[in-house]
Amino acid sequence: MNIEAKIPAFNYQFNENDQEFSLFGSFRPQKIDELADCINSLEASISNVTGNFYLNVKRLVRMNNVAFHAIAKRIVKTSGDRPDLKIHVTTSSVLGWSTRKFSTLAKMAPNITINEYDNEFYPGQSFLEDGGFIPILRTQTKLTWRHEKNILPRHGLKPGMHVADICCGIGDFAVLMQKEFQPGRLIALDHSKSSLNYARKVAEDFGVRGIEYVYGDASEMLLEDNQFDFVTCRHSLQVFDRPDLILKELYRICKPGGRVYITNEKNSHCLGEPRSETIQRTYNEVARLWDHFNMDIELGPKSRRYLLEAGFSDISIESFMVTNLDGNPQDFADIIQSWEDVYAGQMAVERGDSVEDIRILKQGFQDHIFAALHPKGYAGWPIWAASGQKPQ
């Protein structure tokens, strides 16, 4: 992988509305004089703000000591000259050195704080990284794979292709693709180290070889342009507050003529019989709950629009319904129970729902489980699969 070839040039900008000074790209001057314009802009930006000042370095991919000391000197001096000003530095966990370097500043001045941005940028991640959720994620993939292994060829996936599975999570979908389609190359990328560790173990346990696991941020990947024939990103755009940023990166790493395949849900279309009314009420509320955390679990049918706006052409879109009849109904019921545990648990509590609100929310999930396990019942979970071609 030629990382150097895709590193963007160094740049900076000040957003007056957010009182945020952002640094981008590779920041490696040989002499401090090369930073004169940047430092002058930084100082001018600080002089124009009151209350809080934000220094955003989460998009830096390189920074040498000359650059760090130049920036650090101004920040520390400002913290001393203006103790009333709170200085917030946003780093990235993907580039761990940035947090280590800037954390030294927080130790020098009480009005400087350091924040790793993943927790803010991925609002849903903390709800999903709980180890107890992993078996449910595997069950979900098992049920959706029954449909997707037939859908994927219609969207252009063929054996021997160079494939990237972005936001691979616990990696079970990558394993299934490797076994079923035997790609010429398969990269699985995620920004959760715990998920990647689990993914590697699953591949090892199954004796599956050839998957390259990569730790990285889906919105700023250290992967070269134009290198994959087929890029997948499943159930992930709906978790991000800026799905357009992810699509921009999926477009960039896809070869001209290649395709990007995405899946997303529209949770308010979950259904069940009997007890359909309470089920519908709960999933309508789930959509509002996700929206509260800047996530969009209704994104599924919007996939075509997102792909077109990202520059893709020849859009293919279809939907399929995972049901209690896809194998053992208990598997379906287990998924719904996990949703109840998370949505009517930590998420509802953090939103500030009352005890009665949570009781009503839980009732719909329990009725969905009842429908799934009823001998004459029917329960469904709709998913939209879409793909677009990167123009030649």
State residue 119's pLDDT score.
Answer: 47
Q: Which of 154, 173, 166, 161 is nearest to 253 (CA)?
A: 166
pTM, entire model = 0.71
**What's the rounded Cα separation, in Å, for the pair 248 and 213?**
21
Residue 210 backbone class (left: φ over 0; alpha: ψ -120 to 50; beta: rest): left
Helices (H), the chain: 36-47, 65-81, 96-108, 118-121, 125-128, 134-154, 172-181, 193-205, 243-253, 276-292, 303-309, 329-341, 348-351, 355-373
Other beta carbons less than 10 A from residue 15's beta carbon: 12
**Measured between alpha carbons, how far is residue 192 from residues 97, 119, 224 in Å?**
17, 11, 21
112-142 pLDDT per residue, tens: 998 876 544 444 455 555 445 676 777 888 8
331-382 pLDDT per residue, tens: 899 999 989 988 999 889 989 999 999 999 999 999 999 999 999 999 999 9
